[in-house]
Chains A and B, each alone.
Chain A
Amino acid sequence: MSIEKVNDLVIRGKAKLVPAAVQEALDEGCAAQDLLDTMIAAMDVVGENFKNGEIFVPEMLISAKAMKKGVEVLKPHLTTGAAGALGKVIIGTVAGDLHDIGKNLVAMMIESAGFEVIDLGVDVPVEKFIAAAEENPDVKIVACSALLTTTMPALEATVAAINAASWRGNVKVMVGGAPITQEFADKIGADAYTPDAASAAKRAKELVA
């Protein structure tokens, strides 16, 4: 029962109730990994509901927050790295662009899907993406966002620099943002484009499968 309760509370975004529910489930003997898996499954439902237009950004945000609160309780009980078991993702909004909400949503959904997220923030120069990837040689995905037509060239330059790196074969590059299309993503040599945060999390999982 407790594990279903955790699942339900994450879907409904009850951040204040999730920590106690997780603790209760642990006390009843639920395995930490099972609880993590149920929260990841809950976020899959949330993502799907968002993609289908059944829920809106605030609802997705509070679900991600609820999961984060649950993971905080869970962490001491998990084996090291279990919370980010799918690997590292570096994410940022490209140089000249200060928009963060889309990037933050993608970061939350990717983290909720089981990745460890390194968020470089907004207005991130090419060199910072490259340096972050080189400091984290085990990174699986670099995700870059651009919300303006004026920053599409910066996105192109960022992806070009990653494509020219010696370690390019070890990472996948994801791009997104309002003016970005699959056609543009193909043109600049990215591995994946997704139109929304939920699709991004799903695609990220496929890329590392």
Chain B
Amino acid sequence: MLTAKENMRQVIRGGSPDRVVNQYEAVSLLFHPYLMTQPLLQRGMENVVNGWGVTNSFPANVPGSFPVHTPDKIVVKDIEQWQDYVKAPSLKFPQELWDAAKAMYDAVDGTKSYKATFVAPGLFEQTHHLCSMQEALMNYMEYPDEMKDLIKYLTDWELELAEGICSHLHPDAIFHHDDWGSEINSFLRPSVFEDFFVDAYKQIYGYYKSHGVELIIHHSDSYGANLVPAMIEMGIDVWQGCMKSNNVPELIAKYGGKISFMGEIDNKQVDFEGWTQADCDKAALNAIQRCGNRYFIPCITQGGPGSLYEGTYKGIWDAIDRYNRETFGHTQEELDNARPPISIMF
């Protein structure tokens, strides 16, 4: 029987998997010193400023933290003068911090799962964290040169981050966030998106690939079918978060072999008040039956193992395990022994 990591590799490379990959079972998400030194917002914390000067709040009654974009808190007050406002945080960390991070990587059994560095936010997200979503989107149309310069600045910072990650932590996968759309469409017209982001991500993902990283997993829980050619060009191996609205079976037929798709189980299908195991069973089975077991990993679409409502992620996990037991004849013990213990990040 293959380990979870070997099985995921077979699915992605179009080989011979011996079961369906169960969501994030083969991807251990790990941090790097920059994230470790940033304020981790807990529920109830408000107006916490991060290394980029972006203010975030996590009010008690909401499920996660969010950038605050009241006029006084928007970092870039004038896109034509963005250099006056945007100051990249330092990426120089003491060796002890790199060592502490490395210890977490060493603790993961690399035969069973990928050691995946978690990188967020991505370039697009950082532009709207800095400018506010509305202004950033308009800036792409009205101030393209300034936005290109800003993205170049952010890219250089990400490349420096990548250098530190690769030289100190040696991950074999990168799990990189950057949400590029809503459920129904990409935020940017594909030609505009390509113009701003393909070369930047080619550089970043290319760097990782040329420094020992086997897999680039990119998270965008959105529609993005119109961006898949760009994703392939960037070097993305797995698009995590592809929502049902993308017509995933069609994407697999069209692009399988060049990129794989991880998702199809939208949070709203299963992650709601009063959810039941039957909801998880139905969603998981439906995803597997619709999309198969080549170039596809059934997974909750959110960007990390977990769910908004307690137990939902585990409910899907149990449903996929049952499918693997009944369809491929594995025992639960075999499945558990071939992967790290279930991890709930959110």
Give, as a whole number of angstroms, the nearest-CB distance from B11 to chain A. 28
In B272-315, the 8 Å CB interface with A consists of 272-273, 308-309
Measured in the bound complex, the distance between the Cα atoms of B308 and A152 in whole Å is 13
Q: Given the interface contacts A13-B141, A56-B188, A58-B188, does A150 sit within 8 Å of B134 by beta carbon?
A: no
A36 at the interface (CB under 8 A from B): no
B206 at the interface (CB under 8 A from A): no
Q: Given the interface contacts A61-B137, A149-B272, A153-B273, does A98 sit within 8 Å of B186 by beta carbon?
A: no
Q: Are B189 and A59 in contact (CB under 8 A)?
A: yes
Interface residues on A, range: 20 to 34
Residues from chain A with Cβ under 8 Å of B187 in the complex: 56-58
| Chain A contact residues: helix, strand, loop or mixed | loop
Q: Are B308 and A123 in contact (CB under 8 A)?
A: no
* Complex: chain A residue closest to B137, CB-CB: A58
Measured in the bound complex, the distance between the Cα atoms of B138 and A170 in whole Å is 36
Q: Are A62 and B272 in contact (CB under 8 A)?
A: no
Kindly supply a per-residue 1/0 record for chain A positions 1-27, scoring 1 wherever the CB is within 8 Å of any chain B CB and 0 otherwise: 000000000000101000000000000
Measured in the bound complex, the distance between the Cα atoms of B245 and A195 in whole Å is 13
| Chain B contact residues: helix, strand, loop or mixed | loop
B252 at the interface (CB under 8 A from A): no
Inter-chain CB contacts under 8 Å: number: 77
* Complex: chain A residue closest to B68, CB-CB: A98
Measured in the bound complex, the distance between the Cα atoms of B272 and A179 in whole Å is 10
Measured in the bound complex, the distance between the Cα atoms of B314 and A100 in whole Å is 30
Measured in the bound complex, the distance between the Cα atoms of B187 and A61 in whole Å is 11
Q: Are B134 and A195 in contact (CB under 8 A)?
A: no
Question: A59-B141, A96-B61, A150-B272 provided; 15 other pairs, C-beta below 8 A?
Answer: A57-B182, A57-B187, A57-B188, A58-B137, A58-B192, A61-B141, A100-B69, A100-B133, A102-B182, A123-B62, A150-B273, A152-B272, A153-B273, A178-B182, A196-B184
Q: Residues of B with Cβ closer than 8 Å to A?
A: 57, 59, 61-63, 66, 69, 133-134, 137-138, 140-142, 182-189, 192, 267-268, 271-273, 308-309
